[in-house]
């Protein structure tokens, strides 16, 4: 069972892309697409919403651990103050071999569909602001954080919106999960 986690939450929706779409809205649509595409591969998945209050990341990690999932894919998009920042990246925990393999597989298939700069797999325990990424550090299953594109970049947003509209972004992430040689 794969957990597809919608980044951010209803009352705190994360970054906003150049089309005015929040991460929470974007990731809700994408999570449904990934879930549907995984069915084609015969892979069971569950879409997970973070509890809608502060401190929800710790609670979410506990929930995911309690569910006993085999892999965790949390969906986001990137944002930067510099509008030129561009590209696709996937985060994993530095000491998770299976997480790194999952991130590598998803990163490869996303880059093939989006054609944006390949920023690679980033092994890290914190985000750019130095905040602990509890989805990576507090969970038992191999976990990754997907940052498909920069919402702060208009070209990235247009490319990703096209790929989302055609369903190819969700399919690419599902393909990356299906190709993963992990302990699923």
Q: How far is the CB of 74 from Zn ion (least distance, A)?
A: 9
Q: Is 23 in the site for Zn ion (CB under 5 A)?
A: yes
Residue number of the CB closest to Zn ion reads 76
Q: Cα(first)–Cα(last) distance of the chain, in Å?
A: 7
Nearer to Zn ion by C-beta: 7 or 71? 7
Which region among 5-13, 58-66, 87-95, 155-163 touches Zn ion (by CB under 5 A)?
5-13
Q: How far is the CB of 145 from Zn ion (least distance, A)?
A: 8
Q: Is 142 in the site for Zn ion (CB under 5 A)?
A: no
**Is 151 in contact with 14 (CB distance < 8 Å)?**
no
49-63 residues labelled b (16+ CB within 10 A) or e (exposed): bbeeeeebbeebbeb
Nearer to Zn ion by C-beta: 14 or 71? 14
Residue located via tokens 């905040």:
131
List Cα–Cα distances, 153 to 16, 56, 84, 85, 148, in angstroms: 11, 28, 6, 7, 12
**Is 16 in contact with 8 (CB distance < 8 Å)?**
no
Question: What is the distance between the alpha carbons of residues 59 and 81, in angstroms, rounded to a whole number?
Answer: 30
Q: Is 151 in the site for Zn ion (CB under 5 A)?
A: no
Q: How far is the CB of 29 from Zn ion (least distance, A)?
A: 15
What is the Cα 100 distance to its own chain's centre?
Answer: 14
Q: Is 170 in the site for Zn ion (CB under 5 A)?
A: no
Of 3, 5, 6, 7, the one binding Zn ion by CB under 5 A: 7
Site for Zn ion in 29-88 (CB under 5 A): 76
> Where on the chain is the footprint of Zn ion (CB under 5 A)?
7, 14, 23, 76
């Amino acid at each position: 069972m794969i957990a597809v986690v919608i980044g951010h939450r209803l009352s705190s929706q994360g970054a906003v892309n150049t089309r005015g779409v929040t991460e929470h809205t974007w990731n809700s649509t994408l999570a449904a697409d990934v879930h549907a595409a995984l069915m084609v591969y015969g892979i069971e998945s569950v879409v997970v919403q973070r509890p809608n209050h502060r401190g929800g990341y710790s609670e979410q990690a506990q929930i995911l651990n309690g569910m006993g999932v085999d892999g965790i894919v949390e969906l986001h998009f990137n944002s930067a103050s510099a509008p030129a920042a561009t590209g696709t990246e996937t985060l994993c925990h530095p000491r998770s071999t299976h997480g790194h393999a999952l991130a590598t597989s998803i990163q490869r298939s996303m880059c093939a569909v989006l054609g944006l700069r390949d920023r690679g797999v980033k092994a890290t325990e914190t985000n750019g602001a130095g905040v602990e990424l509890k989805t990576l550090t507090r969970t038992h299953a191999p976990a990754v954080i997907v940052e498909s594109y920069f919402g702060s970049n208009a070209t990235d947003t247009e490319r990703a919106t096209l790929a989302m509209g055609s369903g190819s972004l969700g399919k690419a992430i599902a393909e990356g999960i299906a190709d993963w040689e992990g302990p699923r």
